[in-house]
Amino acid sequence: MRSKQTKYIFITGGVVSSLGKGLSAASIGALLESRGLNISFVKLDPYINVDPGTMSPFQHGEVYVTHDGAETDLDLGHYERFTSVHMSRANNFTTGQIYETVIQKERRGEYLGRTVQVIPHVTDEIKGKILALAKNVDVLIVEIGGTVGDIEGLPFLEAIRQLKLEVGGGNAINIHVTLVPFIVAAGEVKTKPTQHSVKELREIGIQPEIILCRTDRDLTLDIKKKISLFCNVKVESVITCRDVSSIYELPLLLHREGLDERIVEALNMWTAEPVLGAWEKVVHTVKSATNRVRIGIVGKYVDSAESYKSLNEALVHGGMANQAKVDIEYIDAEGLTDQPAVHDRLEGMDAILVPGGFGKRGTEGKIEAIRYTREHSVPFLGICLGMQLATIEFARHVCGLVDAGSTELTDQPQHPVIDLMNEQRNVSGLGGTMRLGAYTCVLANGSLAGSVYQCDQVTERHRHRYEFNNTYREHLETGGMRLSGLSPDGKLVEMIEIPSHPWFLCCQFHPEYGSKPLKPHPIFAAFVRAALDHQRR
């Protein structure tokens, strides 16, 4: 069902950040896909960094890696998890990237000596990037990061204002996500912040067609009428977006509020009725889970839930595949100073996971945790840095290479079992030296990896600099480690496991990026299953 004209949905946020704008955008995508429409997304980030690759996970949350190796905003993860779209480098851009292009063009003389200005040069560049994504899709969902009123966001808002005018009425709509807080002292919800934030939008020429109100309770008709009146939006287009216990309830909740109906109406589109059976099943699975497992994540960014977004979701999906609710416990690796401390902290966990990470801090604690899982037959999943540390642990405590280490973490370790590959040694600067994006991995016959994936070759996404050092392959294999996943040319170790252990699996890539509620990733499904088996043992 392809309409000739691509339609646009511009999503902005007001009042406060963290309103779940990305999840709303993803849910809208899910609803439109369920109506048979072909959709795509783009996230515009107003910050000046060129990409989030070098930003601290503490500040910015997870860096989401696309198939083509772009380090992007975590909202692209929501888009991929909620829909069938494949995001790429082109689906996320920042002010930094826009200015970089504009300045390069200026240096090349492409502006023919004219004064280069925000309007039209920067806004044209933004529009060009949006329009380039509008091919072969019915609806392009454009999410603008930040909050209306931020200085940084202005060029983006101006660009979408112009674009709406250019593509004409009925071909583009604005959805504004705001907060409608309940004020305990007054005993009522307040619409004033919403009014002000919409006023701010209208001052720069943007009138939203739909307002999504984030609240902790259902809004009464009176409240909706008030918002409608003050914000110049039809009352049926004031949508309640209540807090939900599982984010996967969101598409159904918004559908019940009539959101997708309002959108297709406003965009002048005729579509099939939405088919939402798969989402109903997801919500049912989440709510009816009869099993429960405790999984410990031993990491560094334990205070910031956003830092391991995809990982958390992948574990939830793994739970869904096993009718299990997964209780995730973050364990600060720095507290794991020796085996007694590890015992204290990890006892009672049904499985342990060591995720990706950078830098030395906490790594010795993670190694202690891995040792504990290996020696006590606790299911273990090591991802990226997690695999590298498991390699070091095995080298040290099983193979007798007492000074085994990684050249990232120790200056000239005696046994650099994790090291840079030769090609990477001469590269300088941050951000540009990593192995990024999708690579193929060939799985060994009869391995745990093979039985988890049920196939002999997979493609998964990477984000790291260091690799398993091939010099030590034989030594580690002799000690009892199995190299169960290799690059197609056999030169890179992508997965390791310990066959004598009930479930010990590590991968150099990040399987969490590819997991969806409608299609839990096999590694996470098998990991949660192993946790359940361990619990019953």
Residues at the contact surface with ligand GLN, assessed by CB under 6 A: 356-358, 384-385, 408, 463-466
Alpha carbons 370 and 374: distance in angstroms, whole number: 6
Nearer to ligand GLN, 486 or 506 (CB): 506
- Residue from 384, 441, 506, 507 carrying the catalytic annotation: 384
Nearer to ligand GLN, 189 or 390 (CB): 390
| Beta-carbon count within 10 A of 376 CB | 15
Nearer to ligand GLN, 466 or 472 (CB): 466
118: which DSSP letter?
A: I
Please, what is the minimum distance in Å from the beta carbon of residue 62 to ligand GLN? 11
- Indicate the residue type of 55: M
Please, what is the minimum distance in Å from the beta carbon of residue 383 to ligand GLN? 7
HSE-CB for 112 with a 13 A CA cutoff: 0
Sort residue 199 into left (φ over 0), alpha (ψ -120 to 50) or beta.
Answer: alpha
To the query of whether residue 213 is one of the catalytic residues in this protein, the response is: no
Q: What are phi and psi of 130, to 5 degrees?
A: -70, -45
To the query of whether residue 203 is one of the catalytic residues in this protein, the response is: no
Nearer to ligand GLN, 239 or 384 (CB): 384
Nearer to ligand GLN, 46 or 356 (CB): 356
Are the beta carbons of 65 and 437 closer than 8 angstroms?
A: yes
- Residue from 78, 501, 510, 521 carrying the catalytic annotation: 510
Nearer to ligand GLN, 264 or 353 (CB): 353
291-to-320, 327, 347 alpha-carbon distances in Å: 10, 11, 19
- Residue from 393, 512, 521, 534 carrying the catalytic annotation: 512
Report strand pairing: 482-486 vs 493-497.
antiparallel
Q: How many Å from the N-terminal Cα to the C-terminal Cα in the chain? A: 52
Nearer to ligand GLN, 22 or 362 (CB): 362
Please, what is the minimum distance in Å from the beta carbon of residue 434 to ligand GLN? 7
Please, what is the minimum distance in Å from the beta carbon of residue 436 to ligand GLN? 10
Q: Which residue is nearest to ligand GLN (CB)?
A: 356
Are the beta carbons of 355 and 510 closer than 8 angstroms?
A: no
Residue 211 is inside which H or E element, if any? strand 210-215
Omega before 379 within 30 of 0, i.e. cis: no
Alpha carbons 64 and 311: distance in angstroms, whole number: 11
To the query of whether residue 510 is one of the catalytic residues in this protein, the response is: yes
At a CB cut-off of 8 Å and minimum separation 6, what does 509 contact? 383, 384, 439, 441, 460, 461, 462, 494
**Helix (H/G/I), strand (E/B), else coil: 203:** helix
Please, what is the minimum distance in Å from the beta carbon of residue 363 to ligand GLN? 9
Please, what is the minimum distance in Å from the beta carbon of residue 125 to ligand GLN? 31
Please, what is the minimum distance in Å from the beta carbon of residue 349 to ligand GLN? 21
- Give the DSSP letter string of 190-218: --HHHHHHHHHHHHTT---SEEEEEESSP
Q: Catalytic positions, please?
A: 384, 510, 512
